[in-house]
Amino acid sequence: MTTEAEDAAVRAAAAEFLSSLASRQGEDMPVVDRSVLSAGFEFEGRRVPLIGPQGIFKPAVLDLPLSITTAPRVEGRAPAYDDEFGYGGVVYRYRGTDVDHPDNVGLRKLMATGTPLIFFQGLVPRRYLAVWPVYVVSDSPQTLSFGIATVQPLDSMAPTYVAEDDMDRREYGLRVLRRRLHQESFRQRVLRAYRTTCAVCHLRHEELLDAAHILPDGHPRGLPIVPNGLTLCKLHHAAFDANIMGIRPDLVVEVRHDVLAEIDGPMLLHGLQGAHGTRIWVPHRNDRRPAAENLEERYEGFRAAV
């Protein structure tokens, strides 16, 4: 049996491990490869993995679950993550249909004590958004699901009671999570399609790459799907958004005339001016290439701004 103090120490060590990964990425919620989560961390001479083959995971060092995992969505379409969000919590399905399965009982015990755990949301195969701490805040045997919130209940000894200000805190936390999830899901799917390579300069350092929208959010065709995205390094992303650089429907780069005429240092010469007239690299699969109608509309906007 694990004591309460031992359980808390392992969970604190897991949080510290994930915090170190987050600090390297400059994000509160890091994206982590499954191999890193499977390897886990060392605690008092024992290896503690953070993820396992089942969605509800309990490492050998603990008596109760440490993490819950949701698989990535089907490749090739925009993930419908919103169907996982209920009023005040993420909807997390039971392990199977037996309400008394040990994994379900374990989450129920965490709910009763207000004990935190970790949530891994799949983005693309083997890549997960790590969210912690999260809390089990509701249990619905009728729908075979738990409610998971990113904030601790105000009254952790009575989590089924939800005060109005408690619900406001939960809803705010879920809005932050939903926004981060949609942004990072789009980024990971676009980077994977472009083999983690800038379409313009072929830079391959993931930490320096963005997923750029061809048509922006809010546009009728500005969907967070790969055909509306380009992997661009931060320089070319900024130039694309500022209409300093445009991409023609035939995939050829154009740089604004006044920028081409400037005389400056090597960054301007090689980073922007040198890209003028080159053809961007795109995925081999047709369903991952930039949508021609989106590129055409975006290029018309670039030409109007020149």
For 60-105, what is each residue's pLDDT tens digit? 999 999 999 998 876 555 555 545 766 557 889 999 999 999 999 9
**CA angle 94–159–123, rounded 5-degree value:** 45
pLDDT, residue 205, reads 95
pLDDT 10s digits, 171-195? 777 777 888 888 999 999 999 999 9
Rg over CA atoms, the chain: 23
pLDDT, residue 38, reads 97
Where in the chain does DSSP place strands (E)?
31-33, 41-43, 46-48, 56-57, 67-70, 85-86, 89-93, 117-124, 127-140, 145-149, 209-213, 229-233, 245-247, 253-255
pLDDT, residue 223, reads 92
Give the rounded distance of the alpha carbon of 95 from its chain centre.
24
Contacts of 276 (CB under 8 A, 6+ apart): 253, 254, 255, 260
Backbone φ and ψ for 288, nearest 5 degrees, come out as: -110, -5
Spatial distance between the Cα atoms of 147 and 69, rounded to a whole number of angstroms: 14
